Structure 1
Amino acid sequence: MPERPNPLRVFAGLGCRRGCSVTALSDLLDQVLQAHGLTRDSLGGIASIELKSQEPGLHALAAQLGIPLLFFSAAELAAFESRLTHRSINAFTHSGCYGVAESAALAVAEQLDATPAQLCVSRRTSINATLALACGSTFGR
């Protein structure tokens, strides 16, 4: 019997301002997914930097989606710097990481998919948040 294609799975990395609402995060996520022909069912997990581990909006979004929420240290995210499409001095000043959304997306994809990841949607921004999507090597197969 032929092998069935792997389900399409993407992973979201998020950066946000303090107190960013679940509605603002959810709206940005839905806009990005829709723009790329994806649905919430495509998501395998979300992540951010440890500095955001107490943000209620991130926890509410993960609960709403029913998927894992992981947090990574600035040092862990720094390992992905060479793969970023955008490096922000402002983000580095505040977090010690040049790109929270893209780095977190790559980190969560590699941790949960156990395969090398690539950005499939580079950083997108709203007034209060940033989001990027990464996929493992099984993306689209």
Structure 2
Amino acid sequence: MKSILLFIICLSLSISCWAQSDNTITITINNIKNDTGKILLGLHTENTFMKTEALQKSAIEIIEGKIKVTFNNVTAGEYAILVLHDENNNGKMDFTPNGMPKEDYGLSNNAMNFGPPQFSDAKFEVTTEDITLNILL
């Protein structure tokens, strides 16, 4: 009897842990200045933000100045989204000779700073509910 009870407890714990990794983050952008190129999006933790490749990424075509994309199977934790309007489709942000970005970009929380983006300004928390974000470029 004890082993059956222990099995039921373990099973219920494993199901609740599995369910927590099924969150989604849906991002919409409605203010893209043109349909040229693609929008590149990256889902980051503090450890990957501006340092390494995103945990999840997407490159999406722009239709009438808008996009919508969903990141699936996101576990609970703190994240930030980086967005780039890659107008020339070269897969990276381009800069002017004085170091200013040539292409539009955005962050979760619509954080805008002078200088490089900061995780602390763009972070949001994923718990047990799906997240919907509207990011401005």
TM-score between the two structures when normalised by the length of structure 2: 0.26
Q: Which has the larger radius of gyration?
A: 2
Higher strand share: 2
